[in-house]
Amino acid sequence: MKSNMPMVGVGVIVLRNGLVLLGRRKGTHGAGTWALPGGHLEYGETVEDCAAREVMEETGLCIHSITRGPYTSDVFPKEGKHYVTLFVSARSYSGEPKICEPARCAAWNWFDWSDLPRPLFPPLASLLETGFVPK
């Protein structure tokens, strides 16, 4: 497989009283940007299972009530990467967010969708540009 083949990512909108959980990325593409928890869809995995696995691996949260949302398509020219990102929302969860992968995430924080921090990870910036608002 060519290394610059488009890949499928899953971005998870975890909601708490109208706030959304974002992490500041480090050590990989988009370092320094704020992003949703999420990651690469694995072979044979459902989108919902990927969402739950990635959120658990990255934050320690166990998410419930996962619903499908929009997708975006984003090229990272400098890194030669292209992701189609499938967004899902989770309206309930158990646990408290922890930095489970300190080499990949500098911080987790809750933000109002109308007042997100900058810079945003490109797929999240693309999602925002569509006018999508999680409910």
Query: Is there binding between residue 87 and ligand IPR (CB under 6 A)?
Result: no
Burial tier of 29 (Cβ tally within 10 Å: 0-12, 13-18, 19+)? middle
Query: Is there binding between residue 11 and Mg ion (CB under 5 A)?
Result: no
Which among ligand IPR, Mg ion, none contacts residue 68 (Cβ within 5 to 8 A by kind)? none
Both tokens assigned to 135 = 């409910």
Query: Is there binding between residue 39 and Mg ion (CB under 5 A)?
Result: yes
Query: Is there binding between residue 85 and ligand IPR (CB under 6 A)?
Result: yes
Whole-number Å distance between alpha carbons of 121 and 135 = 21
Query: Smallest Cα–Cα separation from 40: which of 28, 22, 31?
Result: 28
- Provide the mask over 26-65, with x wherever binding to ligand IPR is found by CB under 6 A and - wherever it is not: --x---------xxx-------------x-----------
